[in-house]
Amino acid sequence: MKTIKNQIWSAYQKEIADDHYYFARSCIRQNFFPASENLYIDILRNVLGKDIYDDSRQTTCTGIAYHSGLIPLETTMTVIARQFALMNEAGYENFVVSCVTSFGLYVETLETWKHFPETEKETREALKRATGMTFSIPKNLVHASDVIYKFRKEISDKIILQLKNKNTGYPLKIVDHIGCHYAKIFPHEGIGGAEYPYVLAGLIDEWGGQQVDYPERRHCCGFGFRQYLIKSNRSYSVTNSKKKLDSMLPYKPDLIIANCPGCTFFLDRWQYVIAEMEGKTYGENGYGIPVLTYEELAGLLLGFDPWDIGLQIHQVAVEPLLDKLGIVYDPEKKYKGRNGEDIGLPEKPQVLRCC
Amino acid sequence: MKDLYKELDKDLRYLEGLKSCLNCGVCTAICPAAEVSDYDPRRIVDTIQKRDESELEKLLKGDEIWMCGECLSCKTRCPRGNTPGYIIQALRAQSIDTGMFTESEQGRKQLAVKRTVGDHILKYGYCVYIDEVDNDMYPEQGPVWKWLRENRESMLERLGTSYNKNQSGTLRNTSQGSLVDLQKIFDETGGTKRLEKIEKDSAEKAKELNIDFKEGKDDYFNWLYNE
């Protein structure tokens, strides 16, 4: 679907390096979607033929703690400086960030150093005192979804399926959800800016799907950092996710894709909670709307086995989507452990239909 | 308490967050927190720019500054280039540094955040780690997560992760060297001091409230986390 918004999107473009990336992992993604980052690396290396370095020495950027009001900006900036130093030591100049919270904070750090140069000097001195390390600022710093966007046409040339319903031939209706910190803090750092981000919409357009433009498209998923972290505050989170889900429901989306680990998690898990608490489900026939990361979607279209890329770890069942796409899958393999080990099955929710 | 503004004026986030507010209320209109609570960024920014020490002290001792979700949607939309979410970051830091955070129900909950995310960073090298995320504390995780956790050795190997391994990859062990680096950075930049301040002032408040306070998931933690 091409619209007048393409003119706005074209005004917000950014440089995305062509090759040789240093990869910074995400705290949330590696736990809750534990196969997704390896799939990302696999697609870059083996589908696109790119060089991407996975460093065992990197750590959190501390973003969740920082945005929860727990630690000072100086601490976060110095941890980020250490990541840059590790990138330098590994011989790379292009930094790719898996997490949207991290991406926002890396950009915020660079902007802070630009506008308050004394803070860069202080960070350099603190890092040196603490670790003996020095660093150079990356030549290029992007979010992981930016790279998939950059190579969306190359991926399109290799996919074996389009985003179409195999029974009707119509494009699948797909909601794109962009993490707030991707472009709301620094719109010029996001493809398409803050109001009309195109980083995932571009994938939907390129791979044959249809974007869903619903009223709350740009609303936050409701993470809220400390609002989710503390159990007694979690109504904040589920209420905001519900607002989005209720808003998209009349458009009957076949799929939600997100570029932020937290958003992917919340839009998946809160569907389960809403179903169990209120008896409300958002998909067809008692199912939820499947929620995938952008590389999980790319992986499916490229022909990866859904159970090899971890889609059984989502609480909302993905089978309705697989059936629409015409993907053949083995239900028996879904919950097998290493080497086909029988490790039992998850309990079934009372309301939300799962396979 | 005197000279609160003198300290606030040194905070970068405050300097960047507040230019000049015209009270239009766009920040409140777009704010996800304002929709679900009494949080009102317009009101907070308006209060702050009056530079009234007693009003600032009320904010630092109150719940409202802890209700923001830091989505920073307000930054995108403010027509004057203010960022209420940044001002909140500065106010939260000041509330902890002055010890006023223990005066409010929401402020006190920082101990629970410290004992989860804060401690995880220095123990695992990540804010979140599967071993700590159980379904009792996080019931919304649901049955698939429960099953994954119970079978994580087998399932995480089947998915190609590096769980419990000393190598690169998903969920790997963070090396001792990296954890030492993190601790030293925290020591050097005020992170450790902030975390210790939260523990120390929380201990005093727990004593005042006559609630058992030790470490980890003690009675005080459970009260803050669950109620």
- Chain A environment of B71 (Cβ under 8 Å): 180-181, 184, 220, 223-224
Task: Please tell me the number of Cα atoms within 13 Å of A335 on its side-chain side.
Answer: 21
Same domain, A119 and A218: no
Last residue of a domain, one of B99, B123, B147: B99
Same domain, B87 and B117: no
Q: Do B177 and A57 touch (CB under 8 A)?
A: yes
Closest by CA to A166, choosing from A1, A330, A331, A327, is A327
Last residue of a domain, one of B99, B127, B154: B99
| Strands annotated E in B169-209 | none
Mean of all residue pLDDT scores within chain A: 96
Chain B nearest C-alpha distance from A152 (Å)? 25
Same domain, B148 and B183: yes
Same domain, A298 and A170: yes
| Single-letter amino acid, residue B180 | V
pLDDT at A2: 57
A347 in a structural domain: no
- Give the CATH number of the domain where residue A134 resides: 1.20.1050.140
As a whole number of angstroms, the distance between CA B170 and CA B126 comes to 11
pLDDT at A12: 77
Last residue of a domain, one of A107, A125, A144: A144
A306 in a structural domain: yes
Same domain, A319 and A244: yes
Number of A–B residue contacts, CB under 8 Å: 271
Whole-structure pTM value: 0.97
Residue A1 has pLDDT above 60, yes or no: no
Q: Nearest chain A residue to B127 by CA: give it.
A: A27
Considering CB atoms only, which of B16, B113, B161 is closest to A229?
B113
Same domain, B84 and B111: no
A4 in a structural domain: no
Same domain, A139 and A160: no
Same domain, A116 and A156: no
Last residue of a domain, one of B99, B129, B151: B99
Q: Nearest chain B residue to A195 by CA: give it.
A: B76
Same domain, B114 and B95: no
Instruction: Report the length, in residues, of chain A.
Output: 355
- Chain A environment of B93 (Cβ under 8 Å): 69, 72
CB contact, 8 Å: A43 with chain B? no
Q: What is the pLDDT of residues B160-171, one digit of tens each?
A: 999 999 999 999
Q: What is the ipTM of this complex?
A: 0.97
Q: Which domain does A124 fall in, by range? A: 16-144
Same domain, B138 and B77: no
Same domain, A236 and A326: yes
Structure tokens at A256: 């939600």
- Quick one: average pLDDT of A166-192? 97
Chain A nearest C-alpha distance from B114 (Å)? 7
Same domain, B117 and B191: yes
Same domain, B112 and B217: yes
| Single-letter amino acid, residue A61 | C
For A278, counting Cβ atoms within 10 Å of its Cβ (0-12 exposed, 13-18 middle, 19+ buried), the class is exposed
- Give the CATH number of the domain where residue B29 resides: 1.10.1060.10
Same domain, A121 and A27: yes
DSSP string, A76-121: HHHHHHHHHHHHHHHT--EEEES-HHHHHHHHHHHHHHHH-HHHHH
pLDDT at A26: 96
CA A334 to chain centre: 23
Q: Do B161 and A30 touch (CB under 8 A)?
A: yes
As a whole number of angstroms, the distance between CA A50 and CA A295 comes to 15
A117 in a structural domain: yes
pLDDT at B31: 97
CB contact, 8 Å: A281 with chain B? no
Q: Which domain does B155 fall in, by range? A: 107-226
Same domain, A127 and A238: no
- Give the CATH number of the domain where residue A254 resides: 3.40.50.11810
A121 in a structural domain: yes
The number of distinct structural domains making up chain B is 2
The number of distinct structural domains making up chain A is 2
For B136, counting Cβ atoms within 10 Å of its Cβ (0-12 exposed, 13-18 middle, 19+ buried), the class is exposed
Same domain, A227 and A92: no
Mean of all residue pLDDT scores within chain B: 97
Residue A10 has pLDDT above 60, yes or no: yes
Q: Do A112 and B112 touch (CB under 8 A)?
A: no
Same domain, A127 and A276: no
Last residue of a domain, one of A93, A115, A144: A144
- Chain A environment of B7 (Cβ under 8 Å): none
CB contact, 8 Å: A208 with chain B? no
A354 in a structural domain: no
Angle at A292 between CA B124 and CA A348, to 5 degrees: 85
- Residues of chain B numbered 38-77 and touching chain A (CB < 8 Å): 66-67, 69-73, 75-76
pLDDT at B2: 67
CB contact, 8 Å: B89 with chain A? yes
Same domain, A115 and A158: no
Last residue of a domain, one of A144, A176, A194: A144
Q: What is the pLDDT of residues B127-173, one digit of tens each?
A: 999 999 999 999 999 999 999 999 999 999 999 999 999 999 999 99
Q: Do B72 and A187 touch (CB under 8 A)?
A: no
Q: Sign of torsion, CA B165 B169 B172 B178? A: positive
As a whole number of angstroms, the distance between CA A19 and CA A11 comes to 24
- Chain B environment of A341 (Cβ under 8 Å): 154, 158
Residue B1 has pLDDT above 60, yes or no: no
Same domain, A71 and A156: no
